[in-house]
Amino acid sequence: MTAPDPMAELARQLKPYRGQFPSFTELPADGLARAEVTGLAERLAAAEERAWRDGYASGAVYHGDPAHVAFLSRVYAAHSQSNPLHPDLWPSATKFEAEIVAMTAAMLGGGHAAADAPVVGTVSSGGTESILLAMKAYRDFAREHRGIAAPEIVAPVTAHAAFDKAARFFDMPLVRTGVDETFRADIRALADAVTERTAVVVGSAPTFPHGVIDPIPEIAALAAERGVGCHVDACLGGFILPWAERLGYPVPPFDFRLPGVTSMSADTHKYGYAAKGSSVVLYRGRELRHSQYYTVTDWPGGLYLSPTFAGSRPGALAATCWAAMVSIGASGYTDAARRILETGARIRDGIAAIPGLSVLGDPLWVTAFGAGDGLDIYQVMENMSHRGWSLNGLQRPAAVHIAVTLRHTLPGVADRFLADLAASVEEVRANPGVSTGMAPVYGMAGALPADVVHQLLAGYLDLLFEV
């Protein structure tokens, strides 16, 4: 058997349109007719729609109902020229952003904050940017107000990769700590890792890999006691957990109701059901938010100020986010959460009932599962992809997860998922030792030295940007 060539496999997956659609490596001498271009763009969108529309994707599209998509697109079209960098031209963008922040803060316990330290925030382009902004704010705040020369982040190993990214971008040591047998942050390990250099301790509600909620009350209490910041990453759970709690699910406090929580990230473009490209980062008090801002006073281009990393920003995305929030409202979010949590429980329990598979931890709607009996879980995932499914591969330990969205609450989707999963497991059992498609790529990544894997990943990114 020849060794798998991961790059060839990735290229095959990433470039399905090679030879199928017009392709450009330089500008056409004369522009194409608009009707031709819209026709091409719409054909591409239609070719890709089925996978997410019919609930075959983990996460990715969180609402996706055609009427909701059309509604967002209409609002986007009305504001497509808007840029919050120019509040004089587009005060509407400023209104939308301020109200998105206010509504998100109110949903996440902002009303419990002291009057002299209100919960404030900004809108960003996504979860990663919200996390990067918060970490940069903690770094600068720690240097300026706490006299820490090299501020550190303390985060469980399960906290999102965006915290590694922040650590590298902002030159902040990141101390990763362990999790317990339920995949929740080990509070003792966190406590041991906090030192006089710590700028911030992180908890997730829930974590991306396993969908479990870290012990946020304990993490917040630890942070308060030691006088360090506490960031709760609620990118996944910010727009589900408040409603889950109302619905009677066992959700421990995880937001600004806890005095030790000093910042949060919550993604409007996930379970907030906005168009892709929006998230909210919140802080307890304006002082911490000031450490996020960028202002320059001596530039010949004038006085320059921007709240986030970008300069110009898409006002249309703020408009669509605001439109999603005010059109869905508290009752709509509660109903969506109820459907997602019910489907999540069905899927979680159904996975646990498949011989050979086991659920990791005690998740609510993002369920990670691994395989015993020598079954290759990555080959199970590969077999699921042959059946049209797009799931997320995890590692350390080897596992796969599905993040349940409104697409999975449609009639028949959960049953189809469970039937396909059982069939995929059977197929692996019937073909021991067979490793095809992406399965060997995952297997190899776990076995190769880190620098080789870095090279492979860089090669993957190269592929994305080369025709």
Ligand X SMILES: Cc1ncc(COP(=O)(O)O)c(C=O)c1O
Binding site for ligand X (CB under 6 A): 126-128, 131, 160, 162, 204, 208, 233, 235-236, 267
Which residues neighbour 410 within 8 Å (Cβ) at sequence distance 6 or greater? 54, 55
> Considering Cα of 213, then 214, then 218, then 224, what sign does the dihedral take?
negative
Output 133 or 190, the one with its CB closest to ligand X.
Answer: 133
Taking the C-alpha atoms of residue 265 and residue 248, their distance in angstroms, rounded to an integer, is 23
Output 118 or 252, the one with its CB closest to ligand X.
Answer: 252
For the chain, give the number of residues: 467
Output 131 or 288, the one with its CB closest to ligand X.
Answer: 131
Ramachandran category for residue 177: left, alpha or beta (phi over 0 → left; psi -120 to 50 → alpha): beta
DSSP, residue by residue, 237-264: TTTTHHHHHHTT------STTSTT--EE
Output 160 or 289, the one with its CB closest to ligand X.
Answer: 160
> CB 87 → ligand X: shortest distance, Å?
25
> CB 236 → ligand X: shortest distance, Å?
4
Asked whether the beta carbons of 59 and 408 are under 8 A apart, the reply is: no
Which residues neighbour 51 within 8 Å (Cβ) at sequence distance 6 or greater? 57, 388, 390
> CB 28 → ligand X: shortest distance, Å?
33
When CB distances to ligand X are compared, the closest residue is: 127
> CB 391 → ligand X: shortest distance, Å?
14
Output 236 or 371, the one with its CB closest to ligand X.
Answer: 236
DSSP, residue by residue, 347-381: HHHHHHTSTTEEE-S--SSEEEEEE-TT--HHHHH
Taking the C-alpha atoms of residue 447 and residue 452, their distance in angstroms, rounded to an integer, is 10
> CB 202 → ligand X: shortest distance, Å?
10
> CB 305 → ligand X: shortest distance, Å?
24
Asked whether the beta carbons of 211 and 236 are under 8 A apart, the reply is: yes
Output 63 or 425, the one with its CB closest to ligand X.
Answer: 63
